Amino acid sequence: MPRLTLSTVSKRFDDFQAVDGVSLTIPDGAFLALLGPSGSGKTTVLRLIAGLEVPDGGEILFDETIVAGHGAFLPPEKRGIGMVFQSYALWPTMTVRGNIEFGLKVGGLKPRERAARIEEVLKVVGLAGLGDRRPHELSGGQRQRVALARSLATRPNLILLDEPLANLDAHLREAMLAEFRRIHSLTGSTFVFVTHDQDEAMAVATHVAVMDHGRLEQLATPEELYRKPASPMVARFIGRGRTLPVRVLKSEGGRTRVMLGQQLLDMPGNAPVGYGWLCFHASDLKRVNEGGHLKTELVGQVFQNGSLLSHCLPTEIDGDVVSLPLDERIAPGTPIELVITDGWVIGEGRGTHSNGD
């Protein structure tokens, strides 16, 4: 499997900048999720990697080989890529075996090798014994597995998956995510997976690239995205994170002293002196009787997963409710003070590219 590198890759459609100077490198064997809101450019990045779009600027490399950019362009069929689409794109009149064999015939494998390869991939995706069925005789999850088996069969350098679970119900989606993880570790292939669902990305990927407005906000491990967001957008997008504007007084050895309004806080983080953001999650909040960092008002409580989830409206976070478990019934309208026990301070600038270290 090659290392995949994008270097300042851009793509414009008419006067719309769909991809804007994206640079990233993913190691061999990674499971990368391209995550971002609708229209952020994820699918276009995937199509650029596949060779279905030509970049206007920058370059794409598989190891040291330029596949696009600098006047070079390797067509999709020469890139050794397997693609899995949301629609599965199976031939309805062909059997499962026929669907998988199709790509192998194009690849010039002999009949006996093809048969062995088909049985091998059917086993990998958990469909051994279903080779003679036609797509309409399969469930949605099984069809998705056939689509994956078909792309695995040619032993591609890279497997590209475009919202592959979008057509499945929530229960099946979860099961298929576990399947993707298993198949990824079994094959050792590099997977690039497009999704707008952060839970999906965090559950399945070894690395997540968060995109917004055609730009890469951050590339990091799921844990790092959650704990150490590089930009306010990432902080808010991942895990329903919150951000508060702060003034950074000093940052040293991974600790940062900030002023939140009139209060002095010492928090993990890394930011230049000046304006910045304190990023945190609801799980970082604790109720106190007095001296809280956030003054809130209880707007309601619901009993969920064995605890009373309490919706509080902090005056400091414009119109945005934070929900946290409290252990007693409290009347709506009650003032509640919260301390921020943990968080992450960043500068006010845009996102940066971090590698998970």
Q: Which two tokens stand for residue 133?
A: 């069925």
Q: Which of 26, 31, 40, 121 binds ligand ATP (CB under 6 A)?
A: 40
* Residue 41 near residue 210, CB atoms below 8 Å: no
To ligand ATP, the closest distance from the beta carbon of 233 in angstroms equals 14
To ligand ATP, the closest distance from the beta carbon of 301 in angstroms equals 35
To ligand ATP, the closest distance from the beta carbon of 38 in angstroms equals 3
Site string for ligand ATP, 255-274 (x = CB under 6 A): --------------------
To ligand ATP, the closest distance from the beta carbon of 16 in angstroms equals 6
User: How many residues at the interface with ligand ATP, by CB under 6 A?
Assistant: 12
To ligand ATP, the closest distance from the beta carbon of 123 in angstroms equals 33
Stretch that binds ligand ATP, among 33-41, 106-114, 220-228, 343-351 (CB under 6 A): 33-41
Residue with Cβ nearer ligand ATP (16 or 303): 16
Q: Which of 2, 21, 39, 98 binds ligand ATP (CB under 6 A)?
A: 39
Residue with Cβ nearer ligand ATP (18 or 324): 18
Q: Which of 9, 32, 43, 239 binds ligand ATP (CB under 6 A)?
A: 43
To ligand ATP, the closest distance from the beta carbon of 14 in angstroms equals 6
3-state secondary structure the chain: CCCEEEEEEEEEECCEEEEEEEEEEECCCCEEEEECCCCCCHHHHHHHHHCCCCCCEEEEEECCEEEEECCEECCHHHCCEEEEECCCCCCCCCCHHHHHHHHHHHCCCCHHHHHHHHHHHHHHCCCCCCCCCCHHHCCHHHHHHHHHHHHHHCCCCEEEEECCCCCCCHHHHHHHHHHHHHHHHHHCCEEEEEECCHHHHHHHCCEEEEEECCEEEEEECHHHHHHCCCCHHHHHHCCCCEEEEEEEEEEECCEEEEEECCEEEEEEECCCCEEEEEEECHHHEEEECCCCCEEEEEEEEEEECCEEEEEEEECCCCCCCEEEEECCCCCCCCEEEEEECCCEEEECCCCCCCCCC
Site for ligand ATP in 1-30 (CB under 6 A): 13, 16, 18
To ligand ATP, the closest distance from the beta carbon of 207 in angstroms equals 17
Site for ligand ATP in 163-222 (CB under 6 A): 196
Residue with Cβ nearer ligand ATP (109 or 203): 203
Residue with Cβ nearer ligand ATP (79 or 196): 196
Q: Which of 41, 241, 276, 314 binds ligand ATP (CB under 6 A)?
A: 41
**Residues near ligand ATP, by CB under 6 A:** 13, 16, 18, 36, 38-44, 196
